[in-house]
Structure 1
Amino acid sequence: MNEEKLYAVKNAKGRYLSFSDDQHYRWREGQIAATTSQRIAHDLCTEHGGHVVTLIEEPEKVVLTKEQAEIVEGANKSQYPATYISNYTNAYYVEESLLINAYVNGYTVAKEKKYNVKVPHTKDVWYYKESEAYLLTICLVDKKLRGTFTEAEIEHYGLQDCEKEEVTDDGIR
């Protein structure tokens, strides 16, 4: 984010001072003449009325994991959000700071990567999930038709040593 501030002139009706190509100043909604000089903004107030306002950029939203987003949601419902976040993080300053930033500025949840996982010591046979409890195998041709695995599921089923390939929304990478 740029640290330089922008200033504009606003009147009591909520309109901003703006100017056209011929340098005539008018009060308009939605069009703003901004300057990086607070002095120029004050001079415009003296000449045209209104008051100086500081324009700020909207901060970027933080990208969180699903688990981190759940903590921020819990903080939104808590009477003491910072304490809630502090209690649910692993006392790592970086994560705590990230979640506080997400609470204040908003966040988006990162899409979890999915993978097709190859059965070890076989030729072109891949695992798929029939359900949360059962894994079955399929041939290479059918692997796009079956379920994919998240990193957590790969760990859960003990498939960390298997070959894997990332799957995107439009197919395989």
Structure 2
Amino acid sequence: MSEEKLYAVKNDEGEWLDQDRLWGPGTWATPDKDEREKVAKCYGGHVVTLIEEPEKVVLSKEQAEIVKDAHDYIWPAKHITERCGNSIGLEELLMNAYVNGYTVAKEKKYKVRVPETQTSYYYKGSDGHVHASDTSGGLDNEFSDYELQQYGLDGERFTKEEVTDDEV
């Protein structure tokens, strides 16, 4: 976000003064506040500072839940602080998200190749266990980081391929 401010002239009816000195929907903004003050005095308006909208913070699903819940509390900052523990920088990140808005990062998913094979992949069976198959059609074979740990597929011997949006 740029630190330079821009100034424009607006009247009491909500119209902006443009570069042709006409009131309307468009505006003429400059970084010279003194110049805008003179124009506002001459044309009967007031100076407005234009600022850039801050970028939204990217959060994990868990972090977003903390910020979302904070909106329901009397003291949102206290709610956020109590959930940050000793994580350096997390409180500031969540407070920025509370103030400026946030988006939730898309969770990475992986396909995991069965060791010692070229074509077999693991998939999650309906029985709650992981199985191997040479086919991938219709199988639930995408694993999150959490699921990799849960099913013991996060070791060095496993080849993980990140799934991208363009894969069908």
TM range (shorter): over 0.9
Does the CA-based 8 Å contact 1:116-1:143 persist in structure 2?
no
Identity %: 48
2:56 is equivalent to residue 35 of structure 1: no
Distance across 2 between alignment mates of 1:65 and 1:122? 34
Offset, 1:143 = 2.6
Q: Corresponding residue for 1:6?
A: 6
1:159 aligns with 2:153: yes
Distance in 2, Cα, partners of 1:116 & 1:96: 34
Contact 1:129–1:136 (CA under 8 A) maintained in structure 2: yes
Moved more, 35-44 or 86-95: 86-95
TM-score, normalised via structure 2 length: 0.92
Deviation at 1:171, TM superposition (A): 1.3
Query: Paired residue for 2:81?
Result: 86
Could you say what the CA RMSD is over the residues aligned between the two structures, in angstroms?
1.5
Instruction: Kindly indicate whether the alpha-carbon contact (under 8 Å) linking 1:115 and 1:150 is maintained by their aligned counterparts in 2.
Output: yes
Contact (CA 8 Å) 1:144, 1:171: kept in 2 or not? no
Q: How does 1:119-130 map to 2 (within 5 A)?
A: 119-130=114-125
Does the aligned pair in 2 maintain the 1:75–1:84 contact within 8 Å? yes
Which residue of structure 1 lines up, in the alignment, with residue 167 of structure 2? 171
Give unpaired runs (5+ residues) of structure 2: none
* Unpaired runs of at least 5, structure 1: none
Residue number in structure 2 paired with 1:98? 93
3-state secondary structure, aligned to 2:122: strand
Find runs of 4+ consecutive structure 1 residues off by over 4 angstroms. none
Counting helix residues as a fraction of each chain, which structure ranks higher?
1
With the length of structure 1 as denominator, give the TM-score of the two structures.
0.90
How many residues are paired up?
165
Aligned ranges 1:122-161 → 2 under 5 Å: 122-131=117-126, 133-139=128-134, 142-143=135-136, 145-147=138-140, 148-161=142-155
> For the structure 1 residues 68 and 32, does the alpha-carbon distance in structure 2 shift closer, same or farther, using more than 3 Å as the test?
same
Supply the distance in 2 between the matched residues of 1:47 and 1:144 (Cα, whole angstroms): 72
Could you tell me how far apart the structure 1 residues matched to 2:41 and 2:95 are? 41
Give 3-state SS (helix, strand or coil) of 2:38's partner.
helix
The whole-number CA distance in structure 2 between the counterparts of 1:82 and 1:132 is 43
User: Going by fraction, where is strand more abundant, 1 or 2?
Assistant: 1
